[in-house]
Structure 1
């Protein structure tokens, strides 16, 4: 059986909120469709296009910005570099002009209401997150492709599950936690060191290091920006941003001018249990308030769970005095391997597995990473990941009005705190006496996902989404 090869940069992708599966994935799918049209020489003769959204993409697409992401992707814009402040203006221009510049090259007539169709009652069998693009050509022919956004920004084209990444000869092929532990025992390497050796099969160590530190740069800028931005989140729920006011209240009159000085100011507030809890919550809130506002974030492993790993990493930097590049790289590489194990053995998609696939996985990733950075053994690292996920099993995804706001934002604070607790438990435990393995909890998570009622899988058809009396025109 062909092994799935996942890099640290597959788990941690730079993009735009609010959702990796409903925003980043469809954005990438739209880009791929434009690339197909260009490769076939059809782009200059496209006269019209229709987009069909199925399943969860239809039911919560408006709240997750799926329509916006697809239009930007078809326009040739990239989520890594596109100016988040220009999103509203770009969409307004398309809407008012009834014109879409396909790939930024071919102008076609386009109606957002008529050509972008939400099929609320239809779902395709492979995955709930499906989108079909139909391009109509001036010669009377048409080109149609269907894509599935399978979680974490990963996209699969119907009939092609290769995900477009060339297979390489990895020194340490890993599908399961058992595989990972085998290589660690055989070589004596830490988990992060095994990851780095595998990354070298794709690129040089300098390129890997630069990429990981750039990922951290985006994370810390997101936290800092979120802790200093006030107002209300878009979408109509009128959810007030809390991170900035909490940051101000916790810091008092302490002054700082940049991120580094901010870290020192936070340290000077003390490290009592209550203060630590407040700060971890503040970090997580900041990221997911940015995510909900179409800000630039890092999937970790998804956008809906993007606050957990950065919050725990920031906790390590501030309260464990680990503000150096080596520790940051160690943290991110360890977290990525745990995320890839869940991707291979279960799912990162809330539309497939509920929120256990997002917050649960991110909490396991963060717990493992923190444990290694604090000196835990390889077995303790895997134990921390297992503990974190074990206590997220069965967590549903029921976003109110289809927005990645309630209960999503607060769930990131819970996931971060659970990750720290799981790490502490693992560090104080002999892992040889553990009753549950990480592989067992991955298997259990997937079985739970299969058994979970579809209304609790990012459809807004169940849970809080139907028990909170809110009616929004766009949802």
Structure 2
């Protein structure tokens, strides 16, 4: 049984897309490492990247070409300064030279060395093939698939017989919600406690806390930047950043602050009324995805396109529900959210190219709903009920980004997903979970069946829905 850590579900990276940006970036890094391991790196004289399917159809709008160049240049999405991205890419375009892996210079023209193919490869909608010409004249190629959330696989590896040493043996292996509930009942533990025990089999407590703090600090900084950045988003649609204006109005008359943490404390001291709650949650969600759309640093949750839902709902808890919330609350929230996301990944998909936006916003809303329910005192049964409710009301949601950009309708959908998550939590907390008509595992299965039935044009190809129903000139 495959083990998926919460740190697989919650990754730090660069926007705008985990499948179309982070995945290709990581694939390029992996290919370089494999060429070095095969003692072929020094023989490489030319490299070309071939992009297929959904990865190709919306690749330009999702900065897939940027990600490939950055990955081949040896930069890291976790550590690179977002402000350096344009410089690195522009220099490659101007000089037509790639500083390959940061170690050797190769001729490289993005127009001819990154080739976008409209056809789909049979294994997955997001295919990417790297091709190297060696000094001997031979060609070496390797194909990767970006399957959502920054996960990258090869077809051979996916189909290979899994060896026992490939995966850590977890004390509580979880494939389905029923298994998770069984462990909670048998051990008399909450979901976050069960998940924490699994994480402890992979790393020590100090490392777990350090990584969770990094994730939360990245989320908080992302919201802070989004709320304090004015203007239009890049890409040509001229979408105005709305978080700045909403935040400015909400913070009118508030005390001064000079850091993300001080900003958070200032917000927690303000009086918030019902309409303002909706505005605050929307502001938090919009801020993250506006940063994501401008190639900023975000946390996949479980993807870049849905990165705003979880931090927005967590902020709702800290700002509205519990002003005394501390790191332990943040930790529990992210442990529960990560586990719910992993069940969707194992039983269905978190890739919009495979399942439409239900696989991104729907999953993120389910993750946030379940996590919020535990923090509000819900039972494990109510946690999964909340996750089920949230997903149930995203079933069939299409992915049809206008212009191939992660902006319309993607940014607003994070706001809607966050509000639905809060509502789902409240519905679950007010219900007897033993009387739930739709089990959590059934909604996971239904989401996957819906994904398979969905027309391909609604799966992140920009060939249907709003993507063609609204002309760029109308924006």
- The normalised TM-score by structure 2 is 0.97
How far the C-alpha of 1:471 sits from its partner, in A, is: 6.4
**Contact conserved, 1:251 with 1:265, CA < 8 A, in 2?**
no
SS in 2 for 1:146: strand
Corresponding position of 1:39? 37
State the alpha-carbon separation in 1 of the partners of residues 471 and 363 from structure 2: 30
Alignment of 1:297-376 (within 5 A): 297-321=298-322, 322-376=324-378
How far the C-alpha of 1:267 sits from its partner, in A, is: 3.6
Give ranges in structure 2 of 5+ residues lacking alignment: none
Corresponding position of 2:390? 388
1:101 to 93, 99, 105: 99
SS in 2 for 1:366: helix
State the alpha-carbon separation in 1 of the partners of residues 321 and 150 from structure 2: 31
Structural RMSD (CA): 1.4
Residues 53-112 of structure 1: per-residue CA shift (max 9 Å, x gap): 000011000000000001100111110001110111101110111111111112111111
2:399 to 386, 390, 397: 397
State the alpha-carbon separation in 2 of the partners of residues 218 and 262 from structure 1: 14
How far the C-alpha of 1:142 sits from its partner, in A, is: 1.7
How far the C-alpha of 1:459 sits from its partner, in A, is: 0.2
Q: How many residues in Structure 1 have an aligned counterpart in Structure 2?
A: 469
State the alpha-carbon separation in 2 of the partners of residues 263 and 10 from structure 1: 27
How far the C-alpha of 1:387 sits from its partner, in A, is: 0.3
Residues 235-289 of structure 1: per-residue CA shift (max 9 Å, x gap): 0000010101110111112122133432343344423211100000000000000
Residues 431-454 of structure 1: per-residue CA shift (max 9 Å, x gap): 011100110000000000000000
Corresponding position of 1:277? 278
- The alignment status of 1:232 with 2:229, answered yes or no, reads no
SS in 2 for 1:63: coil
Corresponding position of 2:185? 185
Alignment of 1:249-288 (within 5 A): 249-257=249-257, 258-288=259-289
Residues 189-247 of structure 1: per-residue CA shift (max 9 Å, x gap): 11111111001111101111111111101000101111111111010000010101110
State the alpha-carbon separation in 1 of the partners of residues 30 and 248 from structure 2: 43
Moved more, 360-369 or 32-41: 32-41
How far the C-alpha of 1:141 sits from its partner, in A, is: 1.5
- The alignment status of 1:148 with 2:150, answered yes or no, reads no
SS in 1 for 2:156: coil
State the alpha-carbon separation in 2 of the partners of residues 237 and 457 from structure 1: 21
Alignment of 1:35-74 (within 5 A): 35-74=33-72
Corresponding position of 1:242? 242
Give ranges in structure 1 of 5+ residues lacking alignment: none
SS in 1 for 2:255: coil
**Contact conserved, 2:268 with 2:318, CA < 8 A, in 1?**
no
Change (3 A) 1:36 1:264: closer
Alignment of 1:114-129 (within 5 A): 114-120=112-118, 122-129=119-126
- The normalised TM-score by structure 1 is 0.97
State the alpha-carbon separation in 1 of the partners of residues 139 and 2 from structure 2: 33
State the alpha-carbon separation in 2 of the partners of residues 209 and 37 from structure 1: 35
Q: Which runs of at least 4 in structure 1 moved beyond 2 Å after TM superposition?
A: 161-166, 258-271
Change (3 A) 1:471 1:97: farther
SS in 1 for 2:334: helix
1:418 to 417, 420, 430: 420
**Contact conserved, 2:15 with 2:295, CA < 8 A, in 1?**
yes
Corresponding position of 1:167? 167
SS in 1 for 2:235: coil
Corresponding position of 2:128? 131
